Structure 1
Amino acid sequence: MDRWFTFLFTLFAHHFTPRHNAEVRLLKAQIQILRDRVPTGRIIPSVEEKAELVRLGAICGHDVGELMEVVKPATYRRWLDRSEKGDVPQNVGRPRITQEIRDLVIKLAKENGLWGYRRIVGELKKLGHHIGITSAKRILNEAGIFPSPEKEKKKPPLPWGTFLKAHMESTIACDFFSKEVFTLTGVKTAYVLFFIHLESRRVFCSSPSYSPDSAWVTQQARNMLMWCDDEGITPEFLIRDADTKFTDSFNEVWKSEGARVIQIPPKSPQANAFAESFVASIKREALDFFICVSRRQLDYICRRWVSHYNSDRPHQGVDIGNNVLQVDFRPSQTGEIRCREDLGGIIRSYYREAA
C-alpha cells in the first residue's frame, strides 16, 4: 500500500511541480515588470497590505524568503515580530496631500494668473494648510498649469547690509511713485510719497499730488511721524534717494525728532531695495490694471491696495516667512473658505468663514 501511495505521490509531483514552479516564476516576472515602472523603484505597502501579507505568509509557515518580492525578507520578518508583539503597523513617509488641498491649489492658480508658487503657498498658509513650494509646483504641473515666474532673486546685499539688519526696527525708507492721470485738461502726472518701516514692512502712503512742492512734502513727513506714533515705531534713520523734491525742510522735520537722514548714492536703487520692491509690487499688482481719470480715483486705489498689503497679503521676504503682516494673525483650519475681492477683483484674499 505504501508503495502504491509513494508511486502516486511521485506521479502527481512529477506532473504538477514543474507547472507550479512555472506559475511562480511567471508571477515573479510580472512583479518585476511592475516594479520597474515605479519611479523610485520602491514599493511602500499600506497598513492593510502589510497585514494581508503576514496573514498569507502564516499559511506558508512564514517561510517566504524566496517568495517575497515586494519587500525584502528582513522587512517581512520585522512586520512579523511587531505583529506577534501586538504592535499596530504604521504607514511610513509623509502624509499624502488631500484632494481638498490639491483642488484649492489649482483654484488659486487659475483665479490669480500673476501669482507664483510662493504666493500660492503663502495664501494656503493663511488658510491653515502647510505645503511646500515643491508640492505646489508638482500639483500644478500635473494639472498643466504653470504660474507666472517668481520675482528675480535679490542681488547680494551691499556692504551696509549688516547695518540695515542691525537697525531695521528703527529705520524708515521712503520714495515716490507716479501714475499718469487723464483729466479734461490733459494728461497729468500724479506723485505719491510713501514710507516703509523696514522691520514690519508696513507702509504709509500719502494722497497723490500733481505738484509735490516743499510744503506738501514736509507735511507728509509730519503725517508719517504721527503714523509712527500710532504704530509704536521710533524712527532713528530715514533712507531716501537724491530726488530734489526732498527739500531741507523735509529733512529738518526728521532731524527734529532725532532721526538721521541717509541719502543713498546716485543711481543706486539697490541701496533702497525695500522701497523699490514696494513700488514694483503696487504697480504690478494694482496700478498697471487701471486708467486713472482723477486724483481721487488714484488715491482710492492706493489706499485699498496698501490696506491689503498691510493686513491680508502674504509677504515672501526671508525674514517674513510668507506670512501676513498682522501681528495677531492666527490661521484656522475650520470653516468654509471664502474669497474677499476688492478693486473689481484685482485684489483677492482668501479666508475661512467663522463657524
Structure 2
Amino acid sequence: MLRHQLIVLRRRLHGRVRLTNQDRWFLIQLYRWFPSILEVLTIIRPETLVRWHRAGFRRYWRWKSRSLGGRPQIDTELRVLIRQMSMENPLWGAPRVHGELLKLGFEVAQSSVAKYMVKRRWPSNPGWRTFLRNHAPDIAAMDLFVVPTIGFDLLYGFVIVRLDRRDVVWINVTANPTAEWVAHQITEAFPWDEAPRYLICDRDRIYGRVVTRRLRAMGIRDKPTAPASPWQNGFAERLIGSIRRECVDHIIVLGEMHLRRLLKSYADYYNRVRTHRSLNKDAPVTRPLQRIGSIKPPAILCGLHHHYARA
C-alpha cells in the first residue's frame, strides 16, 4: 500500500495528486481484502476511499441487474396508432383498444397498450364538438333575409338548413311574409316522417302563434335565440352570408320569379357541388370520387360558378 502511494506521488507534476481509475480500483480491492489499510493512507482521506467503494458497489449491482432481454419494444407506428385510438375514443379503455388492434392483425399485449395510451387526469368524457355532432341530425335552423330588386322593392328570402350535413332543406321567396306563409313553408319543407326534433329561429314577430302551433303539430319544438344574439343561429346566418357573397351580391334581381329561380339554382349548387370545410371538403350530398375521364366544367348560374366533373 505504501509502495503504491509512492508511485502515485512520483507521477505528480504540480498541484493536487492525480489518481487514475486503475489507482482507484487497486485501492478499492485492497480495502476489500484488508480494511486496515485506512490507517496508512496519506495521499487521500479514508472517507474518500470508502466513498469510492460504495460507488463501485452501486455500479456493480446496477450492472448485475441490467436487462438481458425481456419483452421486445413495439414499433413506432404501432405506438402512434395506440395513441391515436386513445385520443379519438376517450371512452375506450385498454381492453377495447387492445381488441381493435387484434382485429387489425397486431400481436401486442394489453399491458403494452395501457402503457402507450394517453394518460388523462380526469374521467374520459366527450367534448362539446362530439356532443353537438351527436345532436345535429335532430336540429334544423331557419331564417329570413332581405334582397332589393331593380325597382328598389324588397323581397324576402326564407331558408331552412339542417345542422347535420349543412344541406339546404327549403328555400323560397315572397314579397309579403306572414306567419301563415312561414307555417306553410315549414309544412312543405318537412314531410311528416322527416321533421327534425328542434328548429332554431330568432325572435322575429313573424314566428307567432300560427308558426308555433304548426311546429307542435308536426312534433317539432321551436328554440328561439336570445335577444340580439344572431350568433346563436350561426348555421343559418352562415348560409345567408354565403348566398349573399356567392350569388345575390353579383346579380341585379328583376323580380320575385327571378330571385326564386336564382335561389333554387344556388341551393342545388350548394347541396350537390359546393365543398365545405366543416364536412372535410365534401358537399352536403356526398360527391363520389372520380379518377377516370376527362374533366369538363359545366357553368352554374350563367358562369358565376362551375362544376368540375369527369365525363
Provide TM-score, normalisation by structure 2: 0.56
Deviation (angstroms), 1:163: 5.8
Larger radius of gyration: 2
- Structure 1 residues 162 and 337 mapped into 2: Cα distance closer, same or farther (>3 Å)? closer
Answer whether contact 1:192 1:205 (CA < 8 A) is retained. no
Output the CA distance in 1 between the equivalents of 2:190 and 2:132: 20
- State which of 211, 222, 239 in structure 2 corresponds to 1:250: 211
Task: Name the counterpart of 1:175.
Answer: 143
- State which of 245, 249, 263 in structure 2 corresponds to 1:302: 263
Counterpart of 2:198 in structure 1: which amino acid?
F
Output the CA distance in 1 between the equivalents of 2:243 and 2:147: 11
Deviation (angstroms), 1:282: 0.8
Task: Name the counterpart of 2:300.
Answer: 342
Deviation (angstroms), 1:349: 1.4
Task: Name the counterpart of 2:284.
Answer: 325
Structure 1 gaps of 5+ residues are 1-158
Output the CA distance in 1 between the equivalents of 2:254 and 2:156: 14
Task: Name the counterpart of 2:33.
Answer: none
- State which of 235, 245, 249 in structure 2 corresponds to 1:288: 249
- State which of 213, 216, 224 in structure 1 corresponds to 2:189: 224
Counterpart of 1:268 in structure 2: which amino acid?
S
Deviation (angstroms), 1:161: 7.0
Output the CA distance in 1 between the equivalents of 2:233 and 2:128: 11
Residue correspondence of structure 1 range 261-276 to structure 2 within 5 A: 261-276=222-237
Output the CA distance in 2 between the equivalents of 1:190 and 1:215: 17
Task: Name the counterpart of 1:204.
Answer: 169
Answer whether contact 1:205 1:303 (CA < 8 A) is retained. no
Output the CA distance in 2 between the equivalents of 1:267 and 1:162: 27
Answer whether contact 1:180 1:292 (CA < 8 A) is retained. yes
Counterpart secondary structure, 2:296: strand
- Structure 1 residues 211 and 234 mapped into 2: Cα distance closer, same or farther (>3 Å)? closer
1:314 maps onto 2:272 in alignment = no
Provide TM-score, normalisation by structure 1: 0.49
Output the CA distance in 2 between the equivalents of 1:205 and 1:303: 9
Deviation (angstroms), 1:325: 2.0
Answer whether contact 2:296 2:309 (CA < 8 A) is retained. yes
- Structure 1 residues 291 and 272 mapped into 2: Cα distance closer, same or farther (>3 Å)? same
Give the number of aligned pairs.
185
Deviation (angstroms), 1:279: 0.6
- State which of 221, 224, 228 in structure 2 corresponds to 1:260: 221
1:189 maps onto 2:189 in alignment = no
Counterpart secondary structure, 2:212: helix
Counterpart of 1:177 in structure 2: which amino acid?
F
Output the CA distance in 1 between the equivalents of 2:243 and 2:157: 12
Output the CA distance in 1 between the equivalents of 2:156 and 2:199: 20
Counterpart secondary structure, 1:335: coil
Instruction: Flag as ranges the 4+ runs of structure 1 deviating above 6 A.
Output: 159-162
1:213 maps onto 2:213 in alignment = no
- Structure 1 residues 250 and 164 mapped into 2: Cα distance closer, same or farther (>3 Å)? farther
- Structure 1 residues 213 and 160 mapped into 2: Cα distance closer, same or farther (>3 Å)? farther
Output the CA distance in 2 between the equivalents of 1:203 and 1:219: 17
Counterpart of 1:219 in structure 2: which amino acid?
H
Deviation (angstroms), 1:306: 0.3
Answer whether contact 1:237 1:261 (CA < 8 A) is retained. yes
Counterpart secondary structure, 2:302: helix
Deviation (angstroms), 1:162: 7.0
Output the CA distance in 2 between the equivalents of 1:212 and 1:334: 48
Task: Name the counterpart of 2:122.
Answer: none
- Structure 1 residues 243 and 315 mapped into 2: Cα distance closer, same or farther (>3 Å)? same
Counterpart of 1:325 in structure 2: which amino acid?
P
User: What is the RMSD of the two structures over their aligned residues, measured on CA atoms?
Assistant: 1.9
- Structure 1 residues 289 and 255 mapped into 2: Cα distance closer, same or farther (>3 Å)? same
Output the CA distance in 1 between the equivalents of 2:303 and 2:188: 30
Output the CA distance in 1 between the equivalents of 2:168 and 2:308: 21
Percent of paired sites with the same residue: 26
Counterpart of 2:296 in structure 1: which amino acid?
R
Output the CA distance in 1 between the equivalents of 2:215 and 2:130: 23
Counterpart secondary structure, 1:284: helix
Task: Name the counterpart of 2:120.
Answer: none
Answer whether contact 1:235 1:259 (CA < 8 A) is retained. yes
Output the CA distance in 2 between the equivalents of 1:236 and 1:344: 38
